Each structure stands twice: as C-alpha cells, then as structure tokens.
Amino acid sequence: MKERHTRLSVVKELIKNNRIDNQDTLLELLAKEGFTVTQATLSRDLKMLKVGKISDGWSGYYYSLPENDLISESEKSYIQDVRRGVVSIEFSGNFGVIKTRSGHANSVALALDVLALPEILGTLAGDDTIFVILREGMTKEDLLESFKVRIPEIETQ
C-alpha cells in the first residue's frame, strides 16, 4: 500500500517535470525511479490521478495533471457524502462491507459509483450497509489506498 502511494507521488512529479506523450515513456521513467509496474497498473494510476492529455498546438499531445481547483462541485458533494456517511469498512476476500449511518448507504454507494474508483466493480446498498465488489486483481489495500488519495479524511481500517 505504501509503495502505491509513493509511486503515485513519483508519477505526479514525472508528469510535472517532463513532457511525456505516451505510457511507454512513463513506464521507462518509472523503472529508472525503481518502480516496475504493468501498463494496466499505470493506466489505473493515471485514472486515479485524473491525468489527461493536452495539446501543445503544434507537435502533439502530452500528459497533464489537473489543477486542484478543477474538482467539480458535484464531485466535492459526492466526496462529502462519503465523509458524512461512512462508519466502518471491513473486507472478506474480494468483497467489502461498508457500514454507514442509518439512511446513508444509497447516497454513499452512488458517490462511490460516480467517483469511479478503478478498484470497485460495483456496489449494492441497503439502508445502512453497502456491499462492495472489488475488480479482479484488486485488493482491499488497493481500495483503501484509493480512499486515502481521493478522500483523505475517511477513516479506514
């Protein structure tokens, strides 16, 4: 889990300090920094960091990080729903159970769906409980790290 957090920081620094136009180049730069990851992992990292490609107007596109102020108002609202509603998170294998305050499960599940965390395949909500299915190859540590990156205030076990 710590390696992922460190890797995400390195990816951000590489994108800030280099003109990178494809994932192969970024994979090579990461390898020089001591991180050996697959293209699929890098794609998930880029999605989590909300990295996009922008045009320079004459020679092509390159990766760019979003400005912190560009978090949409609706995304802020969804993150707030998660912060307010989550009581606890527990896992068994590839399944997670999120306990929420009474009546909050549907809004928290909707928020998780809208935030499109790459680790989550789907959610099913009741009144105060959300059943979370992790994607194949994802671990609870991966999801908890995503929470720490996207919703740092949430208490995770």
Ordered by start, the domain boundaries in the chain are 2-68, 71-150
Q: Please tell me the pTM assigned to this model.
A: 0.62
Q: Hey, what amino acid is at 35? A: F
Using alpha carbons, select from 121, 103, 117, 122 the residue that is nearest to residue 154.
117
Q: Span 20-25, mean pLDDT? A: 93
**Report for 35-39, 79-83, 150-154: range of highest mean pLDDT:** 35-39
CATH fold match for the domains 2-68 and 71-150: no
What is the DSSP code (8-state) at residue 134?
E
Looking at CATH, the fold of the domain delimited by 2-68 is given as: Arc Repressor Mutant, subunit A (1.10.10)
What is the gyration radius of the CA atoms in the chain, in angstroms?
17
DSSP labels for 66-132?
PPGGGS-HHHHHHHHHHHHHEEEEEEETTEEEEEESTT-HHHHHHHHHHHT-TTEEEEEE-SSEEEE
Distance CA 70, CA 152 (A): 17
Distance CA 112, CA 115 (A): 5
**CATH number assigned to the domain with residue range 71-150, chosen from the 4 options 3.30.1360.40, 3.30.420.40, 3.30.300.30, 3.30.1300.10:** 3.30.1360.40
pLDDT digits (tens, 9 = 90+) for 66-115: 775 445 666 778 888 888 999 999 999 999 999 999 999 999 999 998 88
Q: Identify the pLDDT of residue 126.
A: 95
Helix (H/G/I), strand (E/B), else coil: 153 = coil
Q: Which residues contact residue 98 at a Cβ distance below 8 angstroms, ignoring those fewer than 6 apart?
A: 86, 88, 89, 105, 108, 129, 130, 132
Q: Span 42-59, mean pLDDT? A: 85
